[in-house]
Each structure stands twice: as structure tokens, then as C-alpha cells.
Amino acid sequence: MIKLESIYKSFEGRTVLDDINFSFEDGKTNLIIGQSGSGKTVLMKCIVGLLTPEKGHILYDSRDFNAMDKKEKKALRREMGMIFQSAALFDSLSVLENVMFPLDMFSNDTYRDRVKRAQFCLDRVNLTDAQNKYPGEISGGMQKRVAIARAIALQPKYLFCDEPNSGLDPKTSLVIDALIHDITTEYNMTTIINTHDMNSVMGIGDSILYIYQGHKEWEGTKNDVFTATNERLNNFIFASDLLRKVKDEGLKQR
């Protein structure tokens, strides 16, 4: 579990995160949702330690991130997997080499075992046949799957995904969502996903934190979304008239 206690972050006197409190649970896909500019990426960067909040605490299974020394932070980093907005693969490395990269960096396993582990991860995302290809030779959805395989290579306890579906068509997005959800439950990871994809909210929103202009506006699950009375959340989720109608019809049938 990752727990946030009163997180504040500002840039040049402008508050971007204002008193964020939330618990991201194990074995669940925890979504951070909100409009562009609401603070999702800044919050994720604070959680993983790329930015430092001015106030507040981030507890990794009760361990306070701010109170850790360099060595403890390094050990914790090894327990984190990350998937960024762009797949961020190394173009000059093959698919297999990309997945092996964190193993080459951080594990003491033999070359043979590292290859085996990377192949296992590629198999998990259904990419066994692509291992000798280069990122430039595969589709965007396949690149995302390689990024997922690379992120889970070191068997992380915590998985962070910033807009994993950006640039993907709706069908491929569903495949990526399902994959992230499956590996989260399978390995009991604490997974945090930044998204403004409504299919993701309804599909894998085990736990949802809705941020509005830097503060926590609402929290709940995908099932709570339908009956939520928070006007800002409804305006965000059911932005189009069509979706409003779907919601109203859905409620009538309950």
C-alpha cells in the first residue's frame, strides 16, 4: 500500500497539489483521473521521488519516503516499475534487450537467467515472437506491451503508469488495460495509473482518485461513478450528452 498524507506541491508560488490524502491499495488498479493540467503527472512524480513535495508524507507500506536515506531509497527504487506516456524504449536495442535492460542494471543473475526472465516477461505480454525485432519495427500497442514487460522484469511491488493508453486506438487500449489489471492481481502489486480515458475508468477503476485543480475532489470505485452526485466529477466523466443519457438510462433501470 502507498499512503499519501497531506501532500502539497507548488511551482514558483503557484499551488499545483493542495492537501492530497489517499491510500493506493495492493492488488488493485488505482486510477488518478482529472482534466489536463489538474496535477496527475506532478503527483505521480512526487510519489516516485522525481519531485519533492513541500509538505506531507508518502508511506510505502508504512515506510516514510522522506525519512529514508540514500541506500533505502535505492532499494525502494528497485521495487518500482514505471511505464511512461511514450513507451520510451531504446531504439537501438532489440525488444529482448530492452526487457533485459533493468536486469542487466540491477540483478546479479547470470546472462542465461536474465535472458530466461526477459523471455518469460515477453511471453506474459504475448510478444515471444517479436523478441528479435527493434522498436521501430513494431506497432505502438506492441511497444507499450514491451514497456510493460520491461517494467515487470524485476518483479516490482509498485507499478506506475502515466497515461499508458495515450496514442492507442480504443481496442488496443482495452488490451493494455486488461494486461495491466491482470498482472496487478497476479503479482499483488500496488498499481497507480494516470488516465483520462473513460474506458479505463469504467473497465479497471478498482479505486479512483479524482483530482480537480490540484485538490482531491472525489474518491470511489468504478461502481460508485454511476451514482456519484459530485457535479464536477459528473461533468468530467459524462462530458458528452450521449454519455449523460447512458448514465440516466442506467440509473432508471436499477
Ligand X SMILES: Nc1ncnc2c1ncn2[C@@H]1O[C@H](COP(=O)(O)OP(=O)(O)OP(=O)(O)O)[C@@H](O)[C@H]1O
Q: Which residues are at the interface with Mg ion (CB under 5 A)?
A: 40-41
The rounded distance, in Å, linking the Cα atoms of 187 and 152 is 10
Report in angstroms how near the CB of residue 194 gets to Mg ion at its nearest. 6
Instruction: Indicate the residue whose CB is closest to Mg ion.
Output: 41
Where along the sequence are the contacts to ligand X (CB under 6 A)?
A: 11, 16, 34, 36-42, 196
- Choose among ligand X, Mg ion, none what residue 39 binds, the Cβ cut-off being 5 to 8 Å by kind: ligand X
Decide which of ligand X, Mg ion, none touches 117; Cβ closer than 5 to 8 Å per partner kind: none
CB under 8 Å, gap of 24 or more: what pairs does 142-147 form? 143/87, 143/89, 144/83, 144/87, 144/168, 144/172, 144/176, 145/176, 145/179, 146/87, 146/89, 146/95, 146/98, 146/99, 146/122, 147/83, 147/84, 147/87, 147/88, 147/89
Minimum gap (Å) between residue 36 Cβ and ligand X: 3
Q: Which does 196 bind (CB under 5 to 8 A by kind): ligand X, Mg ion, none?
A: ligand X
Residues 6+ apart with CB under 8 A from 224: 208
Nearest-angstrom CA–CA distance, 105 and 1: 26
**Residue 20 Cβ, how far from ligand X at the closest point, in Å?**
12
Residue 114 or 196 with smaller CB distance to ligand X:
196
Q: CB of 50: closest distance to ligand X in angstroms?
A: 10
How far apart are the C-alpha atoms of 191 and 163, rounded to whole Å? 13
Q: Which does 38 bind (CB under 5 to 8 A by kind): ligand X, Mg ion, none?
A: ligand X
Strand partners, 194: 32, 162
Between 41 and 131, CB nearer to ligand X: 41
* Closest distance of CB 153 from ligand X, Å: 26
